[in-house]
Amino acid sequence: MYLELAVSAITLLGIVGFIIWLCLQPQKRILEIAVPLCVISFMIIYVFYLVARLAPGNPVFGIPAALAAFVETFGSFTNGVAYSDIAGSQRVIRLFGTFWFETLFWALHMLVIVTLAISGFAVFGRRLMDRVRVRLAEAVGKRDIYYIFGDSEGALLFGENLASGRHETLIVYFSEDYSEVLRERIASFGGALIELSKDASSNYLARIEAKHPERLVVFSGTNNPCVNGTPIAELLARKVVSDHAPFKVMCDSCGAESGHPLKIPQKPYSAMIVGFGEIGQACLKQLIMTSQLSPTGETPVFHIIGRNPISYEKFLIEHPAIHNCARIKFYPEDANSLKCCELLKVLLNDANAPLRNIYVCCTSFNEASHSESHGLRINKSIRRHLIGVIERNGLKTRDEIERMFVMPSVEETEIWTPQILLHHELDERAIHLNGYYCLNEADKQKDVNEFRDDFQRQWFGNMNLPAAQREGASSLHKRSSRAAADFMEAYFFLLGIDPREPGSRMRFNALIGELPEVLEPLGRIEHYRWCAFLYCMGYEPMDEMVFLRRVKEIPKNAEKEPSPKPQDDGIRKQHACLTTWEALPILDAIYIDNGPVYTRNRTCFQVNDIENVRLAGRLIGKE
C-alpha cells in the first residue's frame, strides 16, 4: 500500500513539475516537446485498448473495436464503461498488473490533456502564455531573466545575441505597441513580449529597478541610442579602446629604466582619429582617460582628421579644460586628401610622440541594419587607403601597420552584444571600488567580499525604499568608479606583469609592498588619470580662493553630514583637486585648519590615489 501511494505521489508530482517546466519554455520549444509527447501518449493508450479488444478468433476485428472504445473514453471521461472493459481484461492484467496499468493509463491521459492544453495556449493564447512564463520564471527563481524596455532594432538584436544558444536565459520585452510581427520576432529567439500601457510601463520599470537593477536594460533614442542612459557610442568606445588599450601598446614596446621595476613609457601616447562624430568623440575621451601613463603629468597627443570643424568646436565648448590632460590638434581635411597623406608621414616620423594607433570612425553605425552597412564599407575603404600610404613609404612592416588600425564601427550585429552593452565584470570591480571608499581603516584590511551586500546597497541604493528615496551612487560616481576599475590593468602592465597569468596578483602585491618607490609613481599616474576623467566629463579646476570660501561656509548641520565635499561643485562642474600631485597636500592643510568636521573618516588626497593602486591587487589578477 505504501509503495502504491509513493508511486502515485511521485507520478503526480512529476506531471506537475513537467507542466511548470514546459510553461517556462518558449513557444517553439513547447510545440517541439508537447506535440510529439501527445502523439506518443495517444499511441501507448491505444495499445492498451488494442491488447484488450483483439479477439483470438478474428484479430483484425479487434483493431476498429479498440479504436471505437478509445474514442468513446476520450469523448467523455465520465463514461467509464469502455475503461472498465479494458481494466477488466485478463490480457491487460496479465501483462501489466492492475495497479501499474491504472497508474500508467491515467498518467498518460493527464499528459495528453496537459500537452494539448499548453500547446493550444502556446498557439492561440500567446499573450497570456508569455505572462505565465514570466511569472513562473520569477516564482521558481530562474536566474538569467533580462528585462528589456524598448523594441528598437538594436534592442531586438541584443536579445538575439543574449539568448543565442542559452535556453536557461529568458529575455522579457515590455512594449506599448504590441503586434504579432513583433511578438513572432521575439518568440524566434525564445523571448517573451508583455504589452503594457504607459502608466503600467512606469510601474513595471520601478518594480524591476528595485528588485533586479543589474538585469534591467532600457533602450532609448534613435540617432545616438542610449542603453540605461549611456550612449551606445560611449559603450562601444569603451569596449574597443579596452581591447587596444594605450598602456598595452606602450608598455609592450618600452623597457624598464635602469635599476627601476616600473616600465614607464619615455614618450607620450599618440593616436590619430579619422572622423569626429559620436563614435570619434567617444573614442577620443576613452583614449584620453586610458593613456595617462606619466607620473609627471605629461599629456598624450591626439590628431583628429575631420571635414566638420563645428563638431570639434562644440566638443571644446562642452569640455573647456580638456587641454589640461591632452594635446589635441584638429585638421579639417578629407581622409583621402594629399594633405592627410603628408600629415600621416610626418606623424609616423615624429621622434617626440610617434603615432601608435589610427582609429577610423568616419561613419557611425546604423542600428536598423543586419548586414554590412554603407558606412562600414566607407571605413574599410579609408583603412585600405591609409594602409597603402604607410606601406608605400616603407615606414613599417605589414604586421605593424595592421596592429595600428582600429575600427570602432564594427559589424552592426556585433554592436548589440552583452559584451558591449553590459559590463558586469567591470561593474563588479566598480561596485567594490565605490564601497571601499566608505570603509574605515580596520575594515579596509579585510577581504572586500565580506562587504559585498553593503557595497551593492551603496551602488544601487536601498531597494526596500521607493526609487525617489533610494540614494544610490550618482551617475558621475558610477562612471568614475568604472573608469578607475577599467584602468587597473595598467598598473600591472607598468610593472611588467600580465594580469591574466596565474600568480599575477601575488607578484603585483609583493612588488608594491616591498618597493615603496613603486607606489608613489603609480599613485601619481592614478591622480592624473582621475583628473583626465573629470576633464572628459566637462569639469574645470576650482580656484583655490573659491575652495577656501566653500570650506569656511559650512552649514550648521555639517556635524551631522557624513562627508561634506566642498572641493566638488557639481553644479558649476568645478573641482579643487584638478591640480598637480604636489599641490594636493595644500588642499589637505586647508581641511585640517578648518575643524574636525572634514577630518572625520577621510584620508589625504594622495593616500586615496595610492589606495586605488593597492586595491588593484585585490580586485584583478589571478591567484
pTM: 0.79
Please report the domains of the chain, with CATH numbers, ordered by start residue: 2-124 (no CATH), 142-220 (3.40.50.1100), 231-421 (3.40.50), 426-619 (no CATH)
User: What residues pair up with 304 in beta bridges, in sequence order?
Assistant: 273, 330
Q: Return the residue matching grid coordinates 534591467.
A: 216
Q: Return the residue matching grid coordinates 524591476.
A: 208
What is the structure's pLDDT at 535? 96
Task: Give DSSP secondary structure letters for 108-128.
Answer: HHHHHHHHHHHHHHHHH-HHH
Split the chain (623 residues) into runs of 10 and give each run's mean pLDDT: 62 71 66 75 67 51 54 48 51 56 67 72 70 79 80 87 75 84 83 82 80 85 82 89 87 55 86 91 94 91 92 94 94 88 87 90 59 69 86 78 82 77 83 79 69 77 58 82 92 89 89 81 94 95 87 59 71 92 88 64 80 88 80
- 574-575 sheet: strands from edge to edge: 540-541, 574-575, 568-569
What residues contact 177, with CB distance under 8 A and at least 6 apart? 151
Q: What share of the chain is helix, strand, coil (3-state, %, to 5)?
A: 60, 10, 30
Torsion of CA 362, 366, 367, 369, to 10 degrees: -130
User: What residues pair up with 219 in beta bridges, in sequence order?
Assistant: 227
Integer Rg of the chain from CA: 33
What is the structure's pLDDT at 95? 54
Cell of residue 529, nine digits:
588619470
What is the structure's pLDDT at 487? 93
Torsion of CA 528, 534, 535, 536, to 10 degrees: 110
Burial of 203 (0-12, 13-18, 19+ CB in 10 A): exposed
What is the structure's pLDDT at 26? 66
What is the structure's pLDDT at 371? 47
Q: Could you tell me where the beta strands, DSSP code E, fall in 129-198?
A: 145-149, 170-175, 192-195
Q: Are the C-beta atoms of 148 and 217 separated by less than 8 Å?
A: yes
Q: Are the C-beta atoms of 588 and 605 separated by less than 8 Å?
A: yes
What is the structure's pLDDT at 76? 43
Q: Are the C-beta atoms of 176 and 198 separated by less than 8 Å?
A: yes
What is the structure's pLDDT at 257? 47
| Dihedral sign for Cα atoms in the order 513, 514, 516, 521 | negative
Task: Give DSSP secondary structure letters for 470-526.
Answer: -----HHHHHHHHHHHHHHHHHHHHTT--TTSTTHHHHHHHHHHH-HHHHHHHHHHH
First to last CA, the chain: 58
Classified as helix, coil or strand, 355 is coil
| Strand (E) or helix (H) holding 302 | strand 301-305
Q: DSSP character for 3?
A: H
* Residue 403 to residue 249: CA distance in whole angstroms: 10
Torsion of CA 531, 533, 536, 538, to 10 degrees: -70
pLDDT, one tens digit per residue, over 468-485 is 555 677 888 889 999 999
What residues contact 449, with CB distance under 8 A and at least 6 apart? none
Q: Are the C-beta atoms of 52 and 89 separated by less than 8 Å?
A: yes
CB-side exposure of 282: number of CA atoms within 13 Å?
23
Q: Are the C-beta atoms of 293 and 490 separated by less than 8 Å?
A: yes
* Residue 593 to residue 227: CA distance in whole angstroms: 45
Burial of 366 (0-12, 13-18, 19+ CB in 10 A): middle
Q: Are the C-beta atoms of 51 and 88 separated by less than 8 Å?
A: no
